[in-house]
Amino acid sequence: MISGHGPIWQNRMARKRLLIATVSLPALLGCGHALAQETVTTTLDPINVQERVESAFGPVKGYVATKGSTGTKTDTPLIETPQSISVITRDQMEAQAVDSLNSALRYTPGATGNLYGTDNRGLGLQLRGISNASGVFYRDGLQLKESNFTLFTALDSYGAERYEVLRGPASVLYGQASPGGIINYVSKRPTQENLREVEFGGGSFNRYEGKFDFSGAVNADKSLLFRLTGAAHMGDTQTDFVKDDRIFIAPAITWQPDADTSLTILANYQRDRSGWAMQYLPAYGTVIPGKDGKYLPNSMFVGEPGFDSYNNDQASIGYEFDHRFNETWQVRQHARYVHLTHTGEGVFGGGLTDSNGLEPSNGDYYRYADAGGTKLSGVTIDNQAQADFDTGPLAHTLLVGLDYKRYTYRDYASEGTVEDGFNVFDPVYGYKIGDLTPYTDTDTTQQQVGLYAQDQIKLGNWRLTLGGRQDWSDAKVYDNLAGGYIPEQKDNAFTSRAGLVYLADNGLAPYVSYSESFQPVAGADSDGNLFVPETGRQYEIGLKYQPTGWNSFITVSAFDLTRQNVVRYGNEGRPDDMFQTGEIRSRGVELEAVASLDFGLDLRAAYTYLDTRITKATSVVDDNGSSISNEGNTPFGVPKHSASLWANYTLGSGRLEGLGLGAGIRYVGSTYGDDDNSFKVPSVVLADAAVHYAWQNATLSLNASNLFDKRYVASCFSSGFGCFYGEGRRINGSVKYTW
């Protein structure tokens, strides 16, 4: 059987059990006329006409982005990129009061951010049916590598200009990555125009927040620019006894001595003081009625109030250097250093003592204690050279690159018992926690070197993209408890991509592509054999449409994605053993339409169909001696159908000018609650709403997610202890002032 429940926390269980370019067109206007056979000529002063030209790295007005860098590492129109890419713009995030990566993905096809419900750490990511937070999250094109216990995906969304979601394998440009795709957090950058913004707000769960964003030129010739962005919030969460406090600040400086050279320095610091908002609950009382026909409240907390924390301190500093030598050659070097310190502790649910979670129970719940932490630091550098040239009728954009990343981290954790007696239907707290015993303490060093090349070729209306990459990676792990090194893992892989697009004159662009991925897997199987890298391959065909005269973009895609060498866990007799024999195949169709129309209407619609199957799995023996396998089953948490629609309308004239209303609806189909497909989690329909009013320099906003406060289960991976409640109604109000 294949076990898909493997985010950060599962690794613990397994051991024991992610230019703004402004073009100025000076115009000298002359006018003349003849009167009575006499010509008079008048010369007017120059008028500067400024047109904002969209960049793959800058802001977008409205919801419709037409360029992106994630799919090619070049400033390429999305319609010419032979792969599905969604862009969540700053305007959309503002309208929907997005405060996390999870909430940013709500209206994106093929992507899920809340697989683990109220989790506030950025876990629970799923792309094209592949549930994996590892190797997914990037900032400004550089991977933010996770440890076994924590990751960077909770990076505050207020510091993002936009998110770019590339669906499908991307190793040809980025090296080790999930086959489902990657998510690129594009940071806010300094602007030439003055920007001053402050915002205060508050809402559900005793939340209070403040934000600021300042940017502009430091000197008269605007060769030196700055930006300073900050945010802070404090409050509680839906889960009883769990707080959520944060401080975030992100300074940035751009130096542009001439039109061909620029250097941008980007930094950030984020301090999170929180707890375990996600709770491990049984299906009995969440998915199905519990004792006396009652359901557990979605605020249910199965931990201990005095022993619950999840604290992160993350910081980074990096730079982006760009220089153009001539009309042909330009070079770029992007680098970043990151540091993260994590500590956490909690009491977690381990299952009903008298039921498998699908049968009646008196509610007595087994619990255990866990505490640990991580100290992580890493360096990533990406060197790129780009050449734009012609060979006969072919126009080339050739990209060659060499990148390197090195991460070191220490993960340590201990566990202990918790006094019996806790009942989920009558929770009482204060039970004794036993002494904790270390069960893991490792120092890990991971390195990767990648050499890649890509050629984007133009011939008339045709666009051909070809790419290849060779990677070398190694991982060294020192076991502090055992006092020795685990055998070193050295892997190498070649990955490729090919794509073809035809740009029709009517705005249609059919495309086809093939892409591959690889991702090293740490550890060894039960026989001591080191795991080989996971690999992925995808075939995709689609149609993009960018109609002339309408600020809109539509993408329809169909794909066939295979993930190989999947690690799975043993049967009930060998729950701690892992085997690498699995394969998951995900086929599907995605539809996305975005529009920002002149009369004040913004739209985003999405639909996803997924047919995801476990296509290879080794049979295991159950307690009765029978051979069982989940081959042919659907992995947990993958809906066959999902859809969403969001509309926001703002009045542009009249007495109510500046008043806007937004509404959205989200449908998530039913999912299986485990890889054995022994039960299903029901489908859910959720509604969101917004009202906002802009007057002069001030904007008042009121947003509500899950407007009708529907109680629902986001997903389950086990009937006994692996179900997670989604968030109930959240209301947030804010006032923003710009000048």
Q: Which domains does the chain have, with CATH numbers?
A: 8-17+54-738 (2.40.170.20)
Q: How far apart are CA 353 and CA 79, in angstroms?
A: 55
Angle at 473 between CA 265 and CA 140, to 5 degrees: 25
Is the model's pLDDT at 333 over the cut of 50? yes
Q: Which among 399, 405, 406, 403 has a CA at the least distance from the CA of 382?
A: 403
Radius of gyration of the chain (CA): 27
Q: Are 681 and 716 in contact (CB under 8 A)?
A: yes
Confidence at 11, pLDDT banded by 50, 70, 90: very low
Q: Which among 468, 454, 544 has a CA at the least distance from the CA of 502?
A: 544
Give the three-class secondary structure for 508.
Answer: strand
Is the model's pLDDT at 7 over the cut of 70? no
* Residue indicated by tokens 């190989």: 564
Residue 441 has a pLDDT of: 97
Is the model's pLDDT at 708 over the cut of 60? yes
Is the model's pLDDT at 48 over the cut of 80? no
Residue 268 has a pLDDT of: 98
pTM surpassing 0.85?
A: yes
Task: Name every residue whose Cβ is closer than 8 Å to that of residue 531 and which is 6 or more positions away in sequence.
Answer: 489, 520, 521, 522, 523, 524, 525, 565, 567, 580
Strands 309-324 and 329-352: antiparallel
Confidence at 134, pLDDT banded by 50, 70, 90: confident
Report which DSSP code applies to 550.
Answer: S
Report the DSSP beta bridge partners of residue 225. 217, 254
Confidence at 618, pLDDT banded by 50, 70, 90: confident
Q: Are 579 and 570 in contact (CB under 8 A)?
A: yes
Q: Which among 732, 734, 726 has a CA at the least distance from the CA of 238?
A: 726
Q: How far is CA 399 from the centre of its chain?
A: 26
Per cent of the chain over pLDDT 70 is 91
* Residue indicated by tokens 């904790």: 436
Task: Name every residue whose Cβ is closer than 8 Å to that of residue 534 and which is 6 or more positions away in sequence.
Answer: 179, 517, 518, 519, 520, 521, 563, 564, 565, 566, 567
Tell me: the pLDDT tens digits for 675-705?
Answer: 999 999 999 999 999 999 999 999 999 999 9
Is the model's pLDDT at 24 over the cut of 70? no
Confidence at 49, pLDDT banded by 50, 70, 90: very low
Confidence at 37, pLDDT banded by 50, 70, 90: very low
List the single range of 324-328, 563-567, 700-704 with lowest mean pLDDT. 563-567
Report which DSSP code applies to 380.
Answer: E
Tell me: the pLDDT tens digits for 569-582?
Answer: 654 444 456 778 78
Residue 402 has a pLDDT of: 98
What's the rounded mean pLDDT across residues 649-672? 96
Q: Which among 635, 637, 643, 593 has a CA at the least distance from the CA of 615?
A: 635
User: Chain-wide mean pLDDT for the chain?
Assistant: 90
Query: Phi and psi for 307 in degrees, rounded to 5?
Result: -140, 65
Is the model's pLDDT at 10 over the cut of 60? no
Residue 57 has a pLDDT of: 73
Confidence at 541, pLDDT banded by 50, 70, 90: very high
Report the DSSP beta bridge partners of residue 394. 391
Q: How far apart are CA 670 and CA 370, in angstroms?
A: 32
Q: Are 475 and 446 in contact (CB under 8 A)?
A: yes
Residue 4 has a pLDDT of: 37
Count H helices, E strands: the chain?
4, 42
Residue 41 has a pLDDT of: 42
Q: Are 521 and 534 in contact (CB under 8 A)?
A: yes
Report which DSSP code applies to 481.
Answer: T
Residue 619 zone, left/alpha/beta (φ > 0; ψ -120 to 50; rest): beta
User: DSSP secondary structure string, 663-722?
Assistant: EEEEEE--EESSTT--SEEPPEEEEEEEEEEEETTEEEEEEEESTT----EEEEEETTTE
Q: How far apart are CA 115 and CA 124, in angstroms?
A: 4
List the single range of 121-135, 259-273, 612-626 with lowest mean pLDDT. 612-626
Task: Name every residue whose Cβ is closer than 8 Å to that of residue 258 and which is 6 or more positions away in sequence.
Answer: none
User: DSSP secondary structure string, 283-351?
Assistant: SBTTTB--GGG----TT---S-TTS-EEEEEEEEEEEEEEEE-SSSEEEEEEEEEEEEEEEEEEEEEEE
Give the three-class secondary structure for 147.
Answer: coil
Tell me: the pLDDT tens digits for 579-609?
Answer: 787 899 999 999 999 999 999 999 999 999 9
Tell me: the pLDDT tens digits for 401-449?
Answer: 999 999 999 999 999 999 999 999 999 999 999 999 999 999 999 999 9
Q: How far apart are CA 507 and CA 545, in angstroms?
A: 5
Burial, 654: exposed, middle or buried (Cβ in 10 Å; 0-12, 13-18, 19+)?
Answer: exposed
Look up residue 171 and give its amino acid: S
Q: How far apart are CA 80 and CA 89, in angstroms?
A: 19
Integer angstrom CA distances of residue 729 from 116, 396, 688 = 17, 51, 9
Confidence at 736, pLDDT banded by 50, 70, 90: very high
Element (H, E) at 16: helix 8-16
Burial, 583: exposed, middle or buried (Cβ in 10 Å; 0-12, 13-18, 19+)?
Answer: middle
Residue 282 has a pLDDT of: 97
Residue 582 has a pLDDT of: 85
Residue 622 has a pLDDT of: 66
Tell me: the pLDDT tens digits for 497-521?
Answer: 999 999 999 999 999 999 999 999 8
Tell me: the pLDDT tens digits for 63-105?
Answer: 999 999 999 999 999 999 999 999 999 999 999 999 999 999 9
